[in-house]
Each structure stands twice: as C-alpha cells, then as structure tokens.
C-alpha cells in the first residue's frame, strides 16, 4: 500500500498536506516533503503499526545496529531511556529509512547525512518513514531534544525501505565527554525568542542537541552524554522544592522515574572529561521559611556534598578522567573551595573552570541560556578542555 501511495505522490499528487491510506487497518500520514542532495524526500508516519511494512525482523538487538553512548536500558528489540540528548546513529543503504519510536512525551530531530530533515513532536507509537533519498549509503541520526524525566522513551531501531539494507553501525568516537548539570545543561528553552514561555512553548523550544555541552562535544569530535535534570541542585532544588530528593538521587539511573534503577555501563563509556555544573538551583532563591537550611548551613552542605560527588566520580571513572568543576554566579566561590580541597588531598585531576557570563543574553525561557549563549559558552569551554592533559 505504501508503494502505491508513494507512486501517486511522486507522480503528481505532491507531499504537501496530509494524506491517509488504510494499510493493515492502520493509518499512514504523509507529513511533509524536504530536499536532501537534490532528491525529493517524502515522510510517512505509520501510527501504531511498527511491523506494518514487514521490515522490522532483525537477527540482533537495536544496540547492535546503532552507535549510542547514552544511558539506555537494552531490551533487545528496543531500548528505553529518559535523559535528554540521547542519540542513536546508524547507516542504511537505499532510498528510504524508517525510525521506530514509542514516545508521547519527548521531541526528536532526525538528521540524514548531517542535515536535520524533520523534527518529530511527541511522536507516539510510530514508524516514521523518510523516502526519496538517493539510492546509496546514508548516515541517519536520531536525537532526543528535551528532558522528560517522568516518562520512559522507547526506540526500536532504524529500518530500511524495500530494496535497501541497514548496514553496520558507525564507529565510536575515541573521545568521550560527560556533562552533568541542571536546566542550563539541558538546553532549557534555548530556542525561544521570549523569556516568557508556556509549558508547551518550553517543550518545543528546548533542544539539548544545541546545548553548550553538545556543541562543545561536536567541536572536539567527541561522543557525549547530557546528564541534565532541570530544577535539581546538589543539595537543594529550585526554590527549595522536592526536599526529599536532589540531582544526586537520580544521577546513577538509566530511567529517571524508576526508583532504584541503576544504569549498567556496558564498559564502553569511559569519558576522558566530565564537566559538572551544579549550583544554580541551590542558591538562585533565598531559603524559605520551613526549609532545613540557613544561608551558612546551605553553603557548607553544598560544599560537603560536592566534594563527596567528586569522590564518587573519581571512584567511578578512575584517575584517567579529568573532572571539570564549573563555577558561576553565587556558587563560584564554593566550587573553588571544593576544587582546592580535592587538589590539596592529592587529586590533581579536578580542575576549576569559571563560566564567564559576559556577553550572554539569557533570552531562553525563564532567563535561561539562549542558543546564542550556548554557542558562546561552548566557544569558551573548548579551548579550556583542549588545554587539559588529555592529549586532545
């Protein structure tokens, strides 16, 4: 049925608007058209029928066909994840590729041969087909744009259009960086043109793939994790909320909403650099009545927890990893003290980096970094990282 529909579209019906065709009792939507390498690209979304085209039979699991370093739980024919910025990279040969997803909360960018061809907004239970590619080898990349810590995302792999094939996965990059932080690390509202955003505007305008972490990694040709959680702090969350948990409660998890869940590192994630940027939420608002803090005890508790967290990272990754502790605003001095204490204790692999906010416009939602700010921060962070003893 899809082949008949495609022939009609390409021969004259066009791909503007929405068309539907019954196929095994399920709807196929023609979403839009774009151009890649001069070819007409038609995109079809097969709602709720991943096996409709008979192309999803595979002899190995999803992670055997894609390159990914994100925190994902391997379920064989699917993987589950919840952190922002998780990406999957694959190679296909032929004129089309399908992206198998089950996600009603997050948004995704689909990139083919390095160019973004579409954004999938809360796609649901879907196989999203992109046809009209030149009949050759293509790279395809799927990246989760926003943070959805209360939900579980599911990816079922890439599939080739009839006559094509999914090829062996791309090679991993030799460099790896992990970014740990809050909404500023997530890329919260960074594409917004206004600081005032509705909830829906915030979700549509958050893009971790153009956060300062992702931009830094790409400049360095490094694989990366964006382990950011909006609103969380080292010991105190934004405005004192959810006092029974902090960022550290969730750091070890693959699925943030699953208590007790622990991400199982497959042994391939060994970052040479870990960048920690936590403290904005701890200190951005005054201590409220009823909170178990005074300004002095909050500062002391923050420094103590930060030191413990750095020790946890050191034990987790070993002495070959350089840990960059970011200081900015009200927490910069506290971070400096923590780094000095680690250095005095003999850990020279912890470095302090002051995040210079000069020139930042904070035009993202709710006064967060804009895309302009993320680029500027990345441009400042890259030379600092290249000056570390990593050989980069």
Tokens describing residue 337: 């003290």
Q: At what angle do helices 371-386 and 212-219 cross, to 10 degrees?
A: 40
Mean pLDDT of the chain: 89
Q: Output the pLDDT for position 59.
A: 47
Spacing of C-alpha 117 from chain mean position = 18
Tens of pLDDT, residues 364-389: 999 999 999 999 999 999 999 999 99
User: Using CA atoms, how far apart are residues 216 and 221, in angstroms rounded to an integer?
Assistant: 9
Task: Name the β-bridge partners of 299.
Answer: none
User: Using CA atoms, how far apart are residues 246 and 183, in angstroms rounded to an integer?
Assistant: 13
Tokens describing residue 25: 């009792």
> In a 3-state reduction of DSSP, which class is residue 293?
coil
Read off the pLDDT band of 292 (50, 70, 90): very high
Contact (Cβ atoms closer than 8 angstroms) between residue 37 and residue 115? no
Q: Output the pLDDT for position 367.
A: 97
Q: Output the pLDDT for position 43.
A: 80
User: Using CA atoms, how far apart are residues 192 and 199, in angstroms rounded to an integer?
Assistant: 12
Measured between its terminal Cα atoms, the distance across the chain in Å is 52
State mean pLDDT over 322-344.
Answer: 98
Q: Output the pLDDT for position 42.
A: 74
pLDDT at 9 over 80: no
* Region of residue 54 (left: phi > 0; alpha: psi -120 to 50; beta: else): left
> In a 3-state reduction of DSSP, which class is residue 199?
helix
| Cα–Cα–Cα angle for 202, 206, 208, rounded to 5 degrees | 160
Tokens describing residue 67: 């390159």
pLDDT at 308 over 70: yes
Tens of pLDDT, residues 122-171: 999 999 999 999 999 999 999 999 999 999 999 999 999 999 999 999 99
pLDDT at 193 over 60: yes
Contacting residues for 308 by C-beta, under 8 A, at least 6 apart:
none
**Residue 376 CB-half CA count within 13 A:** 14
Residue 183 designated active-site: yes
Contact (Cβ atoms closer than 8 angstroms) between residue 216 and residue 262? no
Residues in the chain: 392
* Closest C-alpha to 247, from 326, 185, 195: 185
Contact (Cβ atoms closer than 8 angstroms) between residue 110 and residue 140? yes
- 297: part of which helix (H) or strand (E)? helix 295-317
Task: Name the β-bridge partners of 222.
Answer: 175
Tens of pLDDT, residues 212-247: 999 999 999 999 999 999 999 999 999 999 999 999
pLDDT at 64 over 50: yes
Q: Output the pLDDT for position 38.
A: 54
Catalytic residue among 68, 183, 211, 370: 183
Q: How do 322-327 and 79-81 pair as beta strands?
A: unpaired
**DSSP 8-state code for residue 208:** G
């Amino acid at each position: 049925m899809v082949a008949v529909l495609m022939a009609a579209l390409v021969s004259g019906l066009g791909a503007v608007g929405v068309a539907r065709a019954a196929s095994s009792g399920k709807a196929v939507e023609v979403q839009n058209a774009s151009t890649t390498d001069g070819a007409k690209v038609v995109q079809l979304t097969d709602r709720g029928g991943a096996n409709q085209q008979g192309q999803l039979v595979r002899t190995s699991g999803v992670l055997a066909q894609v390159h990914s370093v994100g925190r994902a739980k391997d379920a064989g024919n699917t993987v589950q994840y919840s952190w922002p910025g998780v990406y999957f990279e694959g190679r296909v040969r032929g004129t089309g590729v399908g992206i198998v997803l089950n996600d009603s909360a997050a948004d995704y960018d689909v990139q083919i041969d390095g160019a973004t061809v579409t954004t999938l907004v809360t796609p649901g239970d879907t196989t999203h087909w992109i046809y009209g590619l030149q009949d050759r080898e293509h790279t395809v990349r799927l990246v989760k744009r926003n943070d959805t810590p209360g939900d579980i995302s599911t990816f079922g792999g890439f599939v080739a259009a009839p006559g094509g094939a999914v090829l062996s996965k791309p090679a991993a990059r030799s460099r790896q960086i992990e970014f740990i932080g809050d909404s500023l690390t997530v890329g919260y509202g960074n594409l917004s043109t206004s600081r005032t955003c509705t909830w829906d505007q915030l979700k549509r305008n958050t893009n971790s793939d153009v956060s300062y972490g992702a931009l830094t990694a790409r400049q360095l040709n490094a694989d990366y994790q964006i382990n950011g959680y909006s609103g969380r702090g080292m010991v105190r969350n934004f405005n004192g909320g959810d006092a029974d948990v902090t960022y550290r409660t969730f750091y070890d998890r693959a699925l943030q909403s699953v208590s007790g869940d622990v991400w199982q590192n497959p042994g391939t994630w060994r970052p040479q650099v870990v960048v920690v940027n936590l403290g904005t939420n701890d200190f951005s608002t005054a201590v409220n009545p009823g909170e178990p803090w005074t300004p002095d005890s909050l500062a002391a508790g923050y420094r103590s927890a930060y030191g413990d967290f750095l020790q946890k990272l050191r034990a987790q990754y070993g002495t070959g990893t350089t840990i960059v502790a970011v200081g900015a605003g009200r927490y910069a001095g506290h971070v400096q003290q923590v780094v000095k204490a680690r250095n005095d204790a003999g850990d020279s692999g912890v470095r302090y980096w002051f995040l210079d906010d000069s020139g930042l416009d904070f035009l993202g939602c709710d006064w967060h970094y804009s895309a302009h700010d993320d680029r500027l921060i990345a441009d400042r962070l890259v030379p600092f990282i290249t000056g570390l003893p990593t050989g980069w």
